[in-house]
Chain A
Amino acid sequence: MKGTMKRSLVGLALLGTAMSTAALAEGPTSADLMNDAETTGDVLTYGLGPQAQRFSPLDKVNTGNVARLVPAFASSLGGEKQRGQESQPIVYDGTIYVTGSYSRLYAFDARTGEKKWQYDARLPDGIMPCCDVVNRGAAIHGDKIIFATLDAHIVALNRNTGKVIWNKTMADYRAGYSATAAPLIVKNMVITGNSGGEFGVVGAVTARDVDTGEVIWERPTVEGHMGTLRGKPNGISGKTNASWTGDLWKTGGAATWLGGTYDPGTNLVYFGTGNPAPWNSHLRPGDNLYSSSTVAIDADTGVIKWSYQTTPHDGWDFDGVNEFIPFDATIGGKPMKLGAKADRNGYFFVLDRTNGKFISANRFVAETTWANGFNPKTGRPNYVADNRPGAPSGTEKGKVVFSAPSFLGGKNWMPMAYSKDTGLFYIPSNDWGMDIWNEPIAYKKGAAYLGAGFTIKPTHEDHIGALRAMDPATGKIVWEYKNKAPLWGGVLTTRGNLVFTGTPEGYLKAFDAKTGQELWKFQTGSGVVGSPVTWEQDGEQYVAVMSGWGGAVPLWGGEVAKTFKEISQGGSLWVFKLPK
């Protein structure tokens, strides 16, 4: 009797093992990821689709009922570690996956908010991150949930258990490299950029096998550097030293720290690139390609198909890392395959996404002192020469130049959204400027140095932040919502004619997508600098966002700090729905 019982228990256990193994192997395929924008029951990609339009076809929550939106639950990230929560949740099969500050990843039950597991990357204590300890999100594929860590690793975890499947070093953190962006998954490849190492870094985009983490191709984003494909040389990026002086191309900068987007139609991945090095533009004449650009790379071969430079010869630390969002529109009566980018430099660019051809650039912030528009024939900025920071002299405090936007940008990392319904882009922007000058004597690594001094300051009494609805066909701002503190969170738009975004003051807010009228807000207890998402579950529409104030803004004080000095830190996932 006893023996029989035992045997049947063993049988049950075996059955259980077989079932869980099958479940482990299942999960979203690359095809599912490509279709994410259409599937409302999940959020599989950073940006709700590889194009990252951040548009959901859900309309159960809409302008008529959003005022009744209430919390379903909130889940704390716990621990003593708080600081900026810039993540976007991923939702799949009853689980919400979200990354936290300090390279943590959590799995929460999507119905109850109970924590299923938590993974804390073991980070070396010697990392000194430049710009807070944020992470912007994970990628999901099959049985894996994948994210990048502050010590420049990329880690694939089993999404059911949180156990490590593979862990690869992207770059050496001791050389100043780091990683904070959400990975992009295309055709079973995990595609990432690189970040950190303000000096000496060479930007690159890397594609890895999603199952093993092994590198498939790598594409440097500075002219003169050799790319690779399956371990073999795959051609030099651009033409060596065509737009640089001396050997500066060897350490050119152009880090791809914000990740990328993908358009299945052209099979191109689009990555923005950072500013060139050294910082002072007078020391490096030339365009310094491909710094402060958007680079379009063939997903199969890792070869650059086109590039467009938003700030040639960048002298303001504008970067060009902002996301490039593919969209289709009819301009001048002609249906076109386009892409749009709201740049740190204050201009909203529309390009032909098949070839990078310049279509238009229009200001989306109150003021751009560095350039007076773009030349439509050449696609280059009309610089205002007097407003370029001066050459370093070392003898005296250099000329003070007022520059707008500030180096934190007309728009920083926070992603905008595009509505297929209204045809508008919703840009989380900031109106601010900076005084910038050359410091006669500063110090770096114990040695005399010529740095730049700067003070960031608001340019308007009533706001720094402004959520703006931009018509890409006309370049006109259709509506704007002004916010006292700088906006630093992502945007979501829906078929319910809604636009959601968060504020440092702690609110998640909903606006009418056509008029900009504020329809709802909820105080989450700390600043919202994450990106909201929405999905349908058990017949109801849910909205989720991370709360937790931080990021780069609190690191630069001055007058700007007055707008957020009372905001406390936090670290929670908030989930909302309509009451039944």
Chain B
Amino acid sequence: MLTRRGLIAGLAAGAALLPATRLGAAPLARVQELGVLRIGVYRDNRPWSWSENGGAPQGIDVDLARALAATLGVRAEVVEFLAGEDLGDDLRNVVWRGGLLGFQPCDVMMHVPFDRRLQIDNDQVVLLAPYYRENFAAVCGAEQSDCDVPPPQFKGKRLAAELDSIPDMYLLGGFGGVLRSDVRHYPTGDAAVRAVRSGEADVAVATRAQVEHVTAEPNSQGLKRRRAPLQAIMSPGWDIGLAVKENSRSLGDALDRTIEAMAADGRMTALFARHGVEWKPAVAAQPAGE
């Protein structure tokens, strides 16, 4: 039986094997000595991490980051960063090298897809502690009373998606392109869902967390979740976890144990629920065959 820990070890083994001496590095001790854990979160990534008018960052990832620091007995220094063109850029800028203009590397980066290929392509970091299973979802407003119709029947409705995301490509390119001229573009999936709530759009395709977060807000009674699957959507879903530098495994192990404990004792469910999102365990964190 493949355990969570076994699977994670397997993922790391996919990266280039590291000299044994470097595995002995002790950044956990270093973090505890300094009394601060520096954690990188995406800027403008609601409901995971965002800030309003220069205020402090907030969101699921921010709360989780603070909880991780608290269990290590250190202060959380949560820093927002701009997403690059792909994950490799982010891991380089945030975890293993730092920004060219002085952005200091973080001890840990939140919201990193937990994926074997990504690990192999980025062997300067270790991906670990998958804490959530994400996928794509759709939501409709009052004008689209049946949200479960086959997507081509959304033709003529105002369709909202984040610019240059899989939902965007799905609506622009899927079904022979019949929906192409109906797509309206928004800077984030969160904004796309809010456009449906405000009556500016009829249907939004976004991540499940984005849909649930907005739908759970008090003035969202008009929003209807699609229950039927999104036929032929280009992703079956993906796990989200953390990244630390490849020589920070002691820190990674400590964070991994914390995530596991939070998943087991209900803290994770409660933390997500505070943001209106139903917590789903990562597929990689579940015993095989379950």
Which residues of A are in contact with B by a Cβ distance under 8 Å? 83, 102, 123-130, 133, 150, 174, 176, 198-200, 245-248, 250-251, 277-280, 282-285, 391-395, 440-451
Contacts and interface: CB of A to CB of B under 8 A. Distances in A.
A133 B169 contact: no
Interface in B228-262: 233-235, 237-238, 240
Contacts of B104: 125
Given A393-B234, A446-B111, 17 more contacts: A123-B101, A123-B102, A124-B101, A125-B99, A128-B82, A128-B99, A246-B172, A251-B163, A278-B172, A283-B172, A394-B235, A446-B112, A447-B134, A447-B166, A448-B237, A449-B166, A450-B169
Interface stretch (B66-74, B83-91, B145-153, B269-277): B83-91
B81 interface: yes
Contacts of A282: 173
24 contacts: A125-B99, A125-B103, A125-B104, A128-B81, A128-B84, A128-B93, A129-B101, A133-B101, A150-B101, A246-B181, A246-B184, A251-B185, A283-B168, A283-B173, A285-B177, A392-B173, A392-B234, A443-B86, A443-B118, A446-B42, A446-B45, A446-B87, A447-B134, A449-B165
A282 B173 CA distance: 7
Interface string B191-220: 000000000000000010000000000000
Interface string B89-117: 11001000001111110000001110101
Contacts of B238: 441, 443, 447-448
A247 B183 contact: yes
A245 B180 contact: yes
A128 B234 contact: no
Interface of B: 42-43, 45, 48, 80-87, 89-90, 93, 99-104, 111-113, 115, 117-118, 134, 136, 163-166, 168-169, 172-173, 177, 180-185, 187, 207, 233-235, 237-238, 240
Contacts of B136: 448
Given A126-B99, A127-B99, A200-B187, A447 B165 contact: yes
A125 B181 CA distance: 40
Given A128-B99, A199-B164, A247-B184, A392 B86 contact: no
Specify the main secondary structure of chain A where it touches its partner: loop
B113 A127 contact: no
B163 A451 contact: no
A247 B187 CA distance: 13
B234 A125 contact: no
A441 B121 CA distance: 13
A443 B127 CA distance: 14
Contact of B102 (A125, A199, A200, A251): A125
A201 to B, nearest CB: 11
Contacts of A278: 163-164, 168-169, 172
Given A443-B113, A445-B42, A450 B166 contact: yes
A445 B83 contact: yes
A102 B101 contact: yes
Contacts, number: 144
A60 B183 CA distance: 63
Given A245-B180, A247-B183, A283 B169 contact: yes
A441 B101 CA distance: 30
Contacts of A251: 163, 185
Contacts of A443: 86-87, 113, 115, 118, 238
B99 A444 contact: no
B223 to A, nearest CB: 21
Nearest to B104: A125
A443 B91 CA distance: 12
Nearest to B103: A125
Given A445-B45, A451-B86, A394 B102 contact: no
A24 to B, nearest CB: 32
Given A280-B169, A448-B238, A450-B169, A129 B42 contact: no
A243 to B, nearest CB: 13
A199 B237 CA distance: 24
B100 A446 contact: no
B235 A391 contact: no
Given A128-B93, A282-B173, A450 B85 contact: no
A528 B189 CA distance: 44
A450 B234 contact: yes
B93 to A, nearest CB: 5
A126 B81 contact: yes
Nearest to A102: B101
A285 B182 CA distance: 14
B80 to A, nearest CB: 8
B85 A198 contact: yes
Nearest to B80: A126
Give the residue among B48, B183, B233 with the most A Cβ atoms within 10 A: B183
Contacts of A246: 172, 180-184
A277 B164 contact: yes
